[in-house]
A and B are shown apart, each in its own frame.
Chain A
């Protein structure tokens, strides 16, 4: 069963607009963590933001915020005031317990293109 679903293969947004990248997840465990990573064309994986399942508030990191809706099992990434440098692949990931530790699985990604 797919654990992480990103339904938007590609998105095109005008510079300076806000953009929301969708992510839904599936787990029966009450303890889990959610991540977003950015992968520019250079190929490196850049950690953006983290949300724990017990966190009461939505995570924020600069222009990035995570819209965490636990009952709907969604963890959408919101990028405010988009910039040309935001053009990249974005991956949602979930960490769930495995043998007392943590295992992290990724979604298929969304390719975001920021137009000038």
Chain B
């Protein structure tokens, strides 16, 4: 498919378990974002990758959260020792643009819904 792909679409896990969420951005997009959206809430910025630059990790809520992006393409968000407050939809987005003169529209995936019991 041509869009941003996320997997799994739904994940139910037990408190204390580790989870990995995967994002496959649109081919050629240099920018990749992870956001978290709790029920009925806005989008909380987690982490941003841009090309080969060091990622902006300023939004990660705790050291239980980490993310990597391999080969400038696929990204994995890892949550260790999950807690119930981690339950949310995790959205990934990619963008082909990096300069302000470009519109820089973000293309979103459909999200991974995480439920921690």
Do A and B come from the same complex? yes
* Residues of chain A at the chain B interface (Cβ within 8 Å): 31-33, 35, 43-45, 47, 50, 52-54, 91, 93, 95, 97-109
Q: Are A43 and B110 in contact (CB under 8 A)?
A: yes
Q: Compute how far the CA of A97 lies from the CA of B104 in the bound complex, rounded to whole angstroms.
A: 12
Q: Compute how far the CA of A105 lies from the CA of B54 in the bound complex, rounded to whole angstroms.
A: 18
Q: Given A101-B31, A104-B33, A106-B43, A50–B53 Cβ distance below 8 Å? A: no
Besides A43-B111, A45-B91, A109-B42, 17 new A-B residue pairs in contact (Cβ under 8 A), listed by A number: A52-B100, A53-B100, A95-B100, A98-B56, A99-B56, A101-B31, A102-B31, A102-B50, A102-B98, A103-B56, A104-B45, A104-B48, A104-B104, A106-B42, A106-B43, A106-B45, A107-B42
The bracket for how many chain B residues form the interface is 20 to 34
Interface centre among A43, A52, A101 (most CB of B within 10 A): A101
Q: Compute how far the CA of A43 lies from the CA of B48 in the bound complex, rounded to whole angstroms.
A: 21
> Which B residues are in CB contact (< 8 Å) with A103?
45, 48, 56
> Which A residues are in CB contact (< 8 Å) with B105?
35, 47, 50
CB distance from A4 to the nearest CB of B (A): 9
> Which B residues are in CB contact (< 8 Å) with A54?
100
Q: Are A99 and B42 in contact (CB under 8 A)?
A: no
CB distance from A28 to the nearest CB of B (A): 15
Q: Given A50-B105, A52-B100, A101–B45 Cβ distance below 8 Å? A: no
Tally inter-chain residue pairs, CB-CB below 8 A: 70
Q: Compute how far the CA of A100 lies from the CA of B101 in the bound complex, rounded to whole angstroms.
A: 13
Q: Given A43-B110, A99-B53, A101-B53, A106–B35 Cβ distance below 8 Å? A: yes
Q: Given A45-B93, A102-B31, A109-B42, A33–B48 Cβ distance below 8 Å? A: no
Residue B108 lies at the interface, judged by CB distance under 8 Å to chain A: yes
Residue B26 lies at the interface, judged by CB distance under 8 Å to chain A: no
Q: Are B41 and A100 in contact (CB under 8 A)?
A: no
- Top 8 closest pairs, chain A to chain B, by CB: A101-B50, A108-B42, A45-B108, A106-B43, A109-B42, A47-B105, A101-B98, A50-B103
> Which A residues are in CB contact (< 8 Å) with B48?
98, 103-104
- Which of B33, B51, B53, B100 lies in contact with A31, CB distance below 8 A? B100
